[in-house]
Structure 1
Amino acid sequence: MNANRKIFSTKFCALLFIAMSFGALTAKSQLKKPNVIVIVSDDHAYQAISAYGSQLIHTPNIDRIAKEGMLMKEAAVTNSVCSPSRAVLLTGKYSHLNGMKDNGTYFNGAQETLPKIFKRNGYRTAIVGKWHLFSTPTGFDYWNILPDQGNYYNPGFKKNGKDTTYTGYVTDVITDVALDWVTKNKDEAPFFLMLHHKAPHRNVMPPLKYLEKFNDTKFKLPSNFYDDYKDRKALQIQQVTMKDHLDIRYDSKIPCDTCPVNKVNDWAPAEYQREIQRLRPDERKIWDAAYQKEYEIFKTLKTKDEIVRFQFQRYMEDYLRVVNSLDDNVGRVLQYLQDQHLSENTIVVYVSDQGFYLGEHGLYDKRFMYTESFRTPMMIKYPAGFKGGRKTSSYVLNLDIAPTLLDLSGIKVPEDMQGVSMKKLLTTGEDEDWRKEVYYHYYEKSFGLTRHYGIKTERYKLIRFYDPVDAWELYDLKKDPMEMHNLYDDPKQATLIKSLKERLKALQLKYKDKI
């Protein structure tokens, strides 16, 4: 009897040990699911990131993501404007399929999205910051978003539908709220966080601590600032130039009530008043004192060229001040992950919703398929998944972020996602089967813009403008990287144009874009 009890006891202990070991392995495997943070900035030009070789500003914290992961040197967007780009990130689909072609559309939250998939796979999900898709966020356990574009100072938010106002500077507030959510949820399940900044979107209002920064820096006009737009009809009618279309109040922060208002910016002076009225009295005192100094300089200017150069300088100062704050807050996130021992097993993506012009072609906005708008900063790190310190010149798209994050997390990628997982690129440093050309389609006509689509290959870019301008443009990116010389009407290019048009049509068929 005692022997039987001893045998039973031994077997029971063995079974218990196996069960406990299995449970421990299961728990460990659950812990191995990576956390995911997608940091999205708004209108952040790659020209203003030192990891991309910028001479304008040093961004050590954003650079750190590239150093610890992979820098995408030739990342691009499928549609260079805010709302459509965000919809692409959520769905992994081009604008014509996700339904968000422009900034005037409501996003259909009933469709499949990245947060929904993560949530079904055991993740806690959240979005904090700029949403700008007009519909109610779906697929998130927690959402705390800026209404529309949001404000830089003492911003209002919608927290799971409830109006809330925070005291402080918007970039700091977004980081505070996001990290607070992570703190409350990091021990319960793996988390998926979309951390969406307003910065550095127009009208680039800097934090008080940086109002004097760059005052002693003289920014040089880009070499093609005074582009004459010869043979490029769409550029000839646009209304987003620094020399003609910036508002002296809204963009330069100059309190000049008698200055003329350009028709395209007739809303801007009143909007600027609403913005600065959000500052507390103590904040307003510091703000007014800083920009009064600029006004005194402005009053001494005599010529149109002096004013243009002044506005360019003012724009660059404020833009880079806002980027400085953005970089600080990226640093806060990375330091938090390190302090909480989360860094190793957390995927961190940094991407802008698109590129941006900082005076190239004389422009300040985005939208066009020209390089500064079309190309976007993108970098990804995941220490537990792949080694850092890599760069790739492969043609990756914002379209690829959704399938990549799912693939890295061990989650099946939906077959109807049009993006491609970058996992092989990230883990091996190369992918011989990667795309060799990129398709783009932009749909808006605001600010004098023209709808257009196009193809970019390693050497060439072919663009078709179709509403309201009807024109084609062809660029040899090897000989003309600044895209100044339209070769489309050159008879010598006929064979090349025919080939590119065929490849363009093939891409439209591939991505189901019916033109």
Structure 2
Amino acid sequence: MNFNKLIIWTFLSFILATSCKQPKLLKNPNILLICVDDLRPELKSFGATYISSPNIDKFTEKSVSFYNHFVNAPSCGPSRYTMLTGKYGPATNNALFLRANKITKGAKIDPSMPEWFKTHGYTTVSVGKVSHHPGGRGGKDWNDTTIVEIPNAWDKHLMPVAEWEHPRGAMHGLAHGEIRVNSNKMDVFQTVEGADTIYPDGAITNEALKQLKSLTNTNEKPFFLAVGLIKPHLPFGAPKVYFDKYKNIDLPLIKHPQKPEGQTTWHNSSEFMKYNLWGKNPNKDSLFADEVRRHYAACVSYADAQIGKILTELKRTGADKNTIIVLWGDHGWHLGEHAIWGKHSLFEESLNSPMVIQYPKMNNKGAKSNAIVETLDIFPTLCDLSGIETPTFTQGTSLRTILENPKTEGHVAVAYKNNATTIRTKTHRLVLHNNGFVELYDHTTPEKETKNVANKYPKLVEDLKKQLNVKLKQ
């Protein structure tokens, strides 16, 4: 072949190759959902300046933080139901299992959020406590593979138990495999010298890192990875290095620590009080109250460290450039406010939790939104940001407009438990009890949720009742 023919052949080969080559299609963004159990907005980046939460704080610098995010139920099960289904649900910790039972009996049920993304081409994996039971299964020890909380949802739903034997043991586990048998014989808080793996979240995090590596190395499809950390759920146990951060600091005063007068959703903190308290009561012993608060803070710092490892691994893989990240607390937690130690009320402390969202090419990095939003909004928001169809059955609202302009107004937020419902606006909270009793609190006043002003504003009460009905029936 002479030189001219070689040039022509090379040119034709180049044209043929480039004309046949298909352009590489950009896949939908990955999704990383990090769920943290019992996390109130007790983070430095959310205003709790004494808290050491460097990894979350760094994450918020490139995200939008929602300061007025409210969950739809002040308990693990029903709150996670709304997050995973995009719909209001029954106010019971068995909400997801009740839904699963209907599916097994052949009822037509709208798909859950992970199932929806799975049908749209995503590989779905959960690690840890994402639904109510860590690992998403039922049975005596929460490891029965025939009893699934969210059928058809996950390609893998994993719960590493290490020395805690089973998911039930890990859920309330303390250091080195200690399992809760009798609550009153298990210490309400603990600190032990050792690595992060001496408590269950260490094993959950290691499994999450393993899954991230696998999903980014071998998976051709976008992934939806949900990771659920257990701490700071009771009992408050964390490695000593995290507790040492709080040994000599001054804690802020507990706001409105008195038991409220009149009818409210106050309760006697039975979930907390059933542990071994060494004969002490934090409502009567301020030094003990501060010890409890320090151990809660240690658990927050421990959870923060696990989140840091997960985000670091995501960045190491390079997948962070095409991943939507949501950090979500499943509800708040009282640390003595209203003389409550726990969740399960319809006061602000039970319902307000941190939510932080980051997505590829976002413009408002580090922004703080004061818009009222709710957990119900996560499902449609993830659909909107990922470019897949938003199902018509979801009852929340996409937060994309707020993410693009954090000064955008939000909407009312609804929450419920078995004996009452509540609606939160920018200025007020109304609580409507099943027996007709009404609480109304004015958040524009210093009293906030310590003074019931329902009798003072009957027209506002009626208006909020109507809004509550409309919201629940939408």
Three-state SS of the structure 1 residue aligned to 2:357 is: strand
Change (3 A) 1:10 1:248: closer
Of stretches 128-137 and 405-414 in structure 1, the one that deviates more from structure 2 is 128-137
Whether contact under 8 Å (1:424, 1:430) holds in the other structure is no
TM-score (norm 2): 0.81
* Gap runs ≥5 in structure 1: 158-165, 260-297, 299-303, 444-450, 511-515
Q: CA deviation at 1:463?
A: 0.7
Three-state SS of the structure 2 residue aligned to 1:79 is: coil
- Alignment pair present for 1:204 and 2:204: no
Q: CA deviation at 1:185?
A: 1.8
Match of 1:240 in 2: 269
TM-score (norm 1): 0.75
In structure 1, distance between residues paired with 2:447 and 2:318: 44
Name the aligned partner's letter for residue 34 of structure 1: P
In structure 2, distance between residues paired with 1:63 and 1:320: 15
* Superimposed CA distance per residue, residues 51-108 of structure 1 (whole angstroms, 9 cap, x where no aligned partner): 1110331212112222101010111111111011111111111114xxxx31144253
In structure 2, distance between residues paired with 1:307 and 1:485: 23
Name the aligned partner's letter for residue 92 of structure 2: D
Q: Whose radius of gyration is greater, 1 or 2?
A: 1
| Structure 1 segment 432-511 matched on structure 2, within 5 A | 434-435=410-411, 437-443=412-418, 451-466=419-434, 471-480=437-446, 482-490=448-456, 493-510=457-474
Counterpart among 172, 186, 192 of residue 202 in structure 2 = 172
- Alignment pair present for 1:217 and 2:249: yes
Whether contact under 8 Å (1:464, 1:473) holds in the other structure is yes
In structure 1, distance between residues paired with 2:358 and 2:71: 20
Q: CA deviation at 1:438?
A: 2.0
- Alignment pair present for 1:326 and 2:303: yes
Whether contact under 8 Å (1:79, 1:95) holds in the other structure is no
| Structure 1 segment 34-433 matched on structure 2, within 5 A | 34-46=29-41, 48-96=42-90, 101-105=91-95, 106-109=97-100, 110=103, 111=109, 112-130=111-129, 131-133=131-133, 134=138, 135-136=147-148, 137-138=150-151, 139-145=153-159, 147-148=167-168, 149-154=171-176, 168-187=198-217, 188=219, 189-225=221-257, 227-235=258-266, 238-240=267-269, 246-247=273-274, 249=276, 252=277, 254=278, 259=279, 308-431=285-408
Name the aligned partner's letter for residue 459 of structure 1: T
Name the aligned partner's letter for residue 469 of structure 2: K
Three-state SS of the structure 1 residue aligned to 2:454 is: coil
Q: CA deviation at 1:316?
A: 0.8
Whether contact under 8 Å (1:350, 1:378) holds in the other structure is yes
Change (3 A) 1:438 1:55: same
Say how many residue pairs are matched: 422
Structure 1 segments of 4 or more deviating over 6 A? 2-12
Three-state SS of the structure 2 residue aligned to 1:439 is: strand
Name the aligned partner's letter for residue 24 of structure 2: L
* Gap runs ≥5 in structure 2: 104-108, 139-146, 162-166, 180-195
In structure 2, distance between residues paired with 1:371 and 1:355: 8
In structure 1, distance between residues paired with 2:80 and 2:283: 38
* Superimposed CA distance per residue, residues 366-400 of structure 1 (whole angstroms, 9 cap, x where no aligned partner): 12221111111100112434441111111211111
Name the aligned partner's letter for residue 49 of structure 1: L
In structure 1, distance between residues paired with 2:223 and 2:390: 18
Q: CA deviation at 1:352?
A: 0.6
Q: CA deviation at 1:306?
A: 9.5
Three-state SS of the structure 2 residue aligned to 1:344 is: helix
Change (3 A) 1:5 1:338: closer
In structure 2, distance between residues paired with 1:406 and 1:328: 29
Q: CA deviation at 1:154?
A: 4.8
Whether contact under 8 Å (1:71, 1:390) holds in the other structure is yes
Change (3 A) 1:198 1:186: same
Whether contact under 8 Å (1:69, 1:383) holds in the other structure is no
